[in-house]
């Protein structure tokens, strides 16, 4: 299987957080149409099928995850 290119000659990362839905969208360069692949646990990798490169990632439940991670580290 051919590997996907990730961050090769990548422009700046762009992000947008939807507070109401608690979803973080991260794009490599400007957001563009892509195919999403659910890789589990609320993480979706977005990639350009023609160029075979990752163009973004979507994280569902971002705030909840961050708060849980921070709380867990403080307890240790």
Q: Give the pLDDT confidence of 3-61 residue by residue, as tens digits.
A: 666 666 667 889 999 999 999 999 998 888 999 999 999 999 999 999 888 999 999 99
Split into its structural domains, the chain has a count of 1
Q: Enter the tokens of residue 25.
A: 């969208």
4 vs 7: CA distance, rounded Å: 10
Query: Which pLDDT band, with edges at 50, 70 and 90, does 75 fall under?
Result: very low
Within a domain: residue 41?
yes
pTM of the predicted model as reported, rounded to 2 decimal places: 0.76
Tell me whether residue 26 is in a domain.
yes
Residue 6 lies in a domain: no
Q: Which residues pair with 44 in a beta bridge?
A: 38, 58
The domain containing residue 54 runs over which residues? Answer: 13-75
User: What are the tokens at 49?
Assistant: 């099928």
Q: What is the dihedral of CA 66, 69, 74, 75, to 10 degrees?
A: 140
**Angle subtended at Cα 48 by Cα 6 and Cα 54, rounded to the nearest 5 degrees:** 20
């Amino acid at each position: 299987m051919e590997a996907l290119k990730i961050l090769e000659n990548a422009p700046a990362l762009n992000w947008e957080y939807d507070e109401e839905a608690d979803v973080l969208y991260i794009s490599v360069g400007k957001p563009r149409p892509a195919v999403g692949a659910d890789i589990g646990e609320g993480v979706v990798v977005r990639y350009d099928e023609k160029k075979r490169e990752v163009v973004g990632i979507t994280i569902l439940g971002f705030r909840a995850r961050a708060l849980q991670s921070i709380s867990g580290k403080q307890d240790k």
